[in-house]
């Protein structure tokens, strides 16, 4: 689904943040991306979702070189990717339900589908009762859960989540990973970035670890 070959990323004339990163995300896979704060996780996710360009190296998306994609093709790819941003990027004045409905509205989904899917996704993240609340009145952790419901509601081909459990307690974090596993079983490839290695190691999923500009794949293991 996504392949990165020898990606280098540097800002300005500084040392590279990513110095030689290769990675492959298989369709239907479930992966964590771990690494200390500031190591370059968000930068790497931005490259995968075409929000940033690498300084060098090749990005292959759905079998095609991203560098050769037309504007329209980039737009098509982006609409197939659900993103949970580290800073949520919700629309504060809209209700929780309307925020979750946005990807469906952009796609032109029928009203009936919106009326069915939005409450379902809100219940997945445990916020069915807050559908009508303006998002700005929700707590940080609640906003994070709305951002997850919004990223998942359109059943994206690829879900990218940047520190999606950073603002919630352990029980809710576990619930949210179960939400990602649920969407993964429906066919979505999942990549979750977290600085919390111990958290990621609780699950049997494969894990990419970013350190010193390089990436290593740690195979999935059953909980020790």
Ligand X SMILES: Nc1ncnc2c1ncn2[C@@H]1O[C@H](COP(=O)(O)OP(=O)(O)OP(=O)(O)O)[C@@H](O)[C@H]1O
For ligand X, give the closer residue by CB, 56 or 137.
Answer: 56
17, interface contact from Mg ion, ligand X, none, CB < 5-8 Å by kind = ligand X
Per CB under 6 A, 40 contacts ligand X: yes
Cβ atoms of residues 124 and 116 within 8 Å: no
Q: Kindly tell me which residue out of 34, 42, 143, 167 binds ligand X, with binding defined by CB under 6 A.
A: 42
For ligand X, give the closer residue by CB, 126 or 166.
Answer: 166
DSSP of 50-65: TSS--SEEEEEETTEE
Taking residue 132's Cβ as centre, other Cβ atoms within 10 Å add up to: 9
Per CB under 6 A, 200 contacts ligand X: no
CA neighbours closer than 13 Å in the CB half-sphere of residue 58: 8
**CB 96, min distance to Mg ion, A:** 24
What is the total count of residues that contact ligand X (CB under 6 A)? 12
Per CB under 6 A, 37 contacts ligand X: yes
38, interface contact from ligand X, Mg ion, none, CB < 5-8 Å by kind = ligand X
Per CB under 6 A, 38 contacts ligand X: yes
User: Interaction with Mg ion in 83-102: which residues (CB under 5 A)?
Assistant: 86
Per CB under 5 A, 42 contacts Mg ion: yes
Cβ atoms of residues 122 and 97 within 8 Å: yes
**CB 42, min distance to Mg ion, A:** 3
**Strands ordered across the beta sheet of 189-194:** 81-84, 158-162, 189-194, 30-34, 206-211, 214-218
For ligand X, give the closer residue by CB, 14 or 68.
Answer: 14
73 burial (CB, 10 Å; 0-12 / 13-18 / 19+) is middle
Rg (CA), the chain: 17
Per CB under 6 A, 195 contacts ligand X: yes
Cβ atoms of residues 134 and 57 within 8 Å: no
Residue ranges binding ligand X (CB under 6 A): 11, 17, 35, 37-43, 86, 195
Residue ranges binding Mg ion (CB under 5 A): 41-42, 86
């Amino acid at each position: 689904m996504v392949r990165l070959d020898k990606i280098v990323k540097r800002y300005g004339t500084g040392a590279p943040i990513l110095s030689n990163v290769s990675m492959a995300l298989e369709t239907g896979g479930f992966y964590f991306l771990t690494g200390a704060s500031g190591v370059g996780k968000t930068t790497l996710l931005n490259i995968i979702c075409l929000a940033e360009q690498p300084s060098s190296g090749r990005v292959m998306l759905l079998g095609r070189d991203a560098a050769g994609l037309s504007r329209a093709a980039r737009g098509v790819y982006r609409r197939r990717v659900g993103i949970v941003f580290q800073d949520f990027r919700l629309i504060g004045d809209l209700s929780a339900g309307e925020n979750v409905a946005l990807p469906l509205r952009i796609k032109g989904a029928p009203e009936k589908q919106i009326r069915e899917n939005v409450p379902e996704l809100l219940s997945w993240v445990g916020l069915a009762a807050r559908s009508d609340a303006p998002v700005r009145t929700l707590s940080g952790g609640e906003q994070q859960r709305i951002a997850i419901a919004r990223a998942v509601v359109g059943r994206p081909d690829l879900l990218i989540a940047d520190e999606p459990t950073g603002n919630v307690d352990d029980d809710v974090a576990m619930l949210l990973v179960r939400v990602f596993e649920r969407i993964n079983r429906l066919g979505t490839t999942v990549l979750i970035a977290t600085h919390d290695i111990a958290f990621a190691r609780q699950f049997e999923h494969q894990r990419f670890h970013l350190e010193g500009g390089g990436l290593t794949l740690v195979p999935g293991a059953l909980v020790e």
